[in-house]
Chains A and B, each alone.
Chain A
Amino acid sequence: MDWIELFISAGFWAATLRIAAPLIFGTIGELICERAGVLNLGIEGIMTMGAMAGWMWVYEGGSLWGAVFFAAAVGGIFGLLHAILTVHLGLSQHVSGIGITLLASSLSYFLFRMFLPNSTTPPKIVPFQPLEIPYLSELPFLGEAFFSHTALTYLALAIIPIAIYLLYRTPIGLATRMAGENPVALEAQGINVLMIRTGAVVVGSAVMAIGGAYITISAFDAFFFGMINGRGWICIALVIFASWKPGRALFGALLFAGLDAFQVRAQQLAGGDIPYQFFLMLPYLLSIGAMIIISKRMQYPQALLVPFRRGDRI
């Protein structure tokens, strides 16, 4: 295999899409929270919880789509906790978010161990199967690369236009963006800032949790410890890289996933000349690099991290 062949192989593009899907869910979820003015560092834990909850739902005999809803509901509950602490009580968003990550990930491991006390090899489930889109999946190259994915992968791609529509074309989206830019003006419109922010954090967290579930019920078929492995933190970097815009989040996630898919294949090409750990570092280093590139023209929501208390003077 040659370096150029790598980029024109359908497997590479299919893998890129598969790696990007959970990142898209995570990034869009975090973006919704931050657009409303709330940083959600609970993402890493909420994704872990989503991965565990979704997998467990299927393992206990539930349906795959039921698992998606269950993971979203559990994620939403942790989002609600984060919203109560940061939006209603006005506590530090950093501290609360880290606390949520600690709680959600330790609780998922605890519950997993409780349900399966003695499993050494993680048991498996039957995950989402590839959905061959009629006619399109038979196209040479394109069919294998883009039209033979699982339903959850297509949902990941669909969630971007949905997020764009909701954020930019509906009154509730306008209110959400205002809550993150100028909550006082929103309050002057007679809209409850606290409710808008709470709603955004709950919905955003639910979307993140689906991203976690994607890993255990679509990309893979088992849950094990340390599975999320920093994906949540990468999503936070991707939100910054996307300048808080959903369309660019798609671009960022694909770019990132492409590099990740590339590094796995480049490892084989390099054939041990370069230690494999350096390839594994690439995704993390790229995230940091992306943040450096974007830092000059960063336009963050003006009220991000600023708690809103009714009657406070600005």
Chain B
Amino acid sequence: MQIEPRENISPWRVIVAPVAAIIVAFVLCAFLIAWTGEPIIESYGYLFKGAFGSRFALSETLNRATPLIFTGLAAAVAFRAKFWNIGAEGQLYFGALAATILGTGAITLPPVLMIPFLFIAGALAGGLALLGPVFLKTTLKVDEVVTTLLLNFVILLFVNYLLEGPLKDPMSLGWPQAASIVDEGVLPELMARTRLHIGFLVALAASILIWALMRYTIWGYEIRAVGANPNAARFSGISINRTVFLVAMLSGGLAGMAGITETAGTKGYLTLDLSPGFGYSGIAVAMLANLNPLGVVISAIFLAGIYVGADSMSRAVNIPTYIADVLVALSVLSVLVSLLFVQFRVRWR
């Protein structure tokens, strides 16, 4: 078996390959559903109806997609420069902490200022959470995969401590949760009587901004160059450390904003179960989108649909909700393989 790079990459292959890969993932998962003894087509029907079948379902899916767009962008930007930030979960909680510390009464501004203020604070906090790993990476070459991953556990324990101690809402009747975000800071709803809030629009804007930054600016060029070939980038005069630092701040900042949409938007206050693994799912989002910032929006909505749909599917038929995670993981792996066939030709000899 020989793998050779293709000389020209046809655009239809770029579109068809991931779609085909996701179909493969659904087919593989069908075997698991068949094993549970439930009807396959009907079960998938419940999944799609639960995700996109009604106004309410759609609003829930888009609401779930909002933090995933942010964490997906965080992973996409970082992975493009081959900076393996697996710590979006912790950075998300740092953003949420910033919202809680500043947004529960310490500072009150009119909503037009308060909401942008919270997003900026969240982004700064998210970047702050990555400061340690990026410093260790650039000065001592300490592997960022392990440091960012382990910091997730440290940060979650830290938040746990704060919620049982200094930040605990005395009105919460014993539940470890923080005080609510002040009314001025709450993200207004986008569709009446649903949980969908303007955080979704902010996420869309962020993805367009990141796309433009990566494509049209010198920073974006430098980030892509460092990821593609660090030696070539260094010889052409790009400072690798400076670029990695920039990438880390962008990535951490985006993940921190996901903490804002959840505390100031969906939930209204910080709890320890604020994120059901949005940071980790963001990695899957970025991979499904092949690290393209605009593709992140589509893959985040797709993933959110699977999660929301699987919830309602498991209520209708007897299939554990973990099927959603299996489906996502299989999609990630099969898209990874499919992208190989876009860039390379496999010759059997």
- For the complex, give the distance between the alpha carbons of A102 and B86 in Å: 13
**A276: nearest residue on chain B (CB-CB)?**
B161
* Minimal beta-carbon separation of A274 from chain B (angstroms): 10
Give the contact stretch, choosing among B54-62, B245-253, B323-331. B323-331
B160 and A277 contacting across the interface, CB-CB below 8 Å? yes
Q: Which residue of B lies closest to A90 (CB)?
A: B3
> At the interface, yes or no: A176 with Cβ under 8 Å from chain B?
no
Of all chain B residues, the one with the shortest Cβ separation from A44 is B149
Say whether, besides A237-B146, A277-B161, A309 and B3 are in contact (CB < 8 Å).
Answer: yes
Q: How far is the CB of B162 from chain A (nearest CB, A)?
A: 9
In the complex, which residues 115-170 of chain B have their Cβ closer than 8 Å to any Cβ of chain A?
136, 140-143, 145-147, 149-154, 157-158, 160-161, 164-165
Beta-carbon contacts under 8 Å, A200-248 to B: 229-230, 233-234, 236-237, 240
Given contacts A240-B143, A280-B157, A291-B147, contact A113 B320 (CB under 8 A): yes
Q: Answer yes or no: A117 CB below 8 A from chain B CBs.
A: yes
**Do the beta carbons of A292 and B149 come within 8 Å of each other?**
no
Query: Which of A126-134, A165-173, A282-290 has 4 or more CB atoms under 8 Å from chain B?
Result: A282-290
Contacts of A236 in B (CB 8 A): 145-146
Q: Which residues of A contact B3 (CB under 8 A)?
A: 89-90, 309
Within 8 A of B (CB), among A13-34: none
Pair A95/B320 contact, Cβ less than 8 Å:
no
* B325 neighbours in A (Cβ, 8 Å): 102, 105-106, 109-110
Is B30 an interface position by the 8 A CB rule?
no
Residues of chain B in range 279-306 having any CB-CB distance to chain A below 8 Å:
280, 283-284, 287
Q: Are A107 and B150 in contact (CB under 8 A)?
A: no
B320 x A284 contact (CB < 8 A): no
| Given A103-B330, A117-B318, A284-B150, A91:B336 Cβ within 8 A | yes
Q: Contact between A295 and B161 (Cβ–Cβ < 8 Å)? A: no
B-side interface residues, number (CB < 8 Å): 47
Is A271 interfacial (CB-CB < 8 Å)? no
CB pair B336–A96 under 8 Å, yes or no, is yes
B333 near A281 (CB under 8 angstroms)? no
B326 touches A106 (CB 8 A): yes
Complex: chain A residue closest to B160, CB-CB: A277
Candidates A88, A107, A230, A292; contact of B140 at CB < 8 Å: A292
A-chain residues with CB within 8 Å of residue B86 when the two chains form the complex: 98
Residues of chain A contacted by B269 (CB below 8 angstroms): none
B84: Cβ under 8 A from any A Cβ: yes
User: Which chain B residue lies CB-closest to A100?
Assistant: B333
Tell me the nearest residue of chain B to A92, going by C-beta: B336
- Judge if B322 is at the interface, Cβ distance under 8 Å: yes
CA distance A288 to B150 in the complex (A): 8
Q: How far is the CB of A309 from chain B (nearest CB, A)?
A: 6
- Which A residues are CB-close (under 8 A) to B287? 95, 98-99
Residue B192, interface by CB 8 Å: no
* A7 close to chain B: CB less than 8 A: no
Answer whether A233 and B158 are a contact pair too, CB < 8 Å, given A85-B337, A89-B3, A284-B153.
no
Nearest-CB residue, chain A, relative to B326 = A106
Residues of chain A within 8 A (CB-CB) of B140 are 292, 295-296
**Of the residues B143, B150, B284, B337, contact of A91 by C-beta under 8 Å:** B337
The yes or no answer to B113 lying at the interface (CB within 8 A) is: no
Asked if B32 is at the interface (CB within 8 A of a chain A CB), the reply is yes
16 of the cross-chain contacts (CB-CB < 8 Å) are: A91-B337, A95-B336, A99-B287, A102-B284, A102-B332, A103-B333, A110-B322, A113-B320, A229-B153, A233-B150, A277-B160, A277-B164, A285-B150, A291-B143, A295-B140, A296-B140
Chain A positions near chain B (C-beta within 8 angstroms) = 41, 81, 85, 88-92, 94-96, 98-100, 102-103, 105-107, 109-110, 113-114, 117, 229-230, 233-234, 236-237, 240, 275, 277-278, 280-281, 284-285, 287-288, 291-292, 295-296, 298, 309-311
Taking Cβ atoms with an 8 Å cutoff, the residues of B that contact A are: 1-3, 32, 35-36, 79, 84, 86, 136, 140-143, 145-147, 149-154, 157-158, 160-161, 164-165, 280, 283-284, 287, 318, 320, 322-323, 325-326, 328-330, 332-333, 336-337, 340
Closest 8 CB pairs of A and B: A106-B325, A113-B320, A103-B329, A102-B329, A110-B322, A277-B161, A295-B140, A277-B157
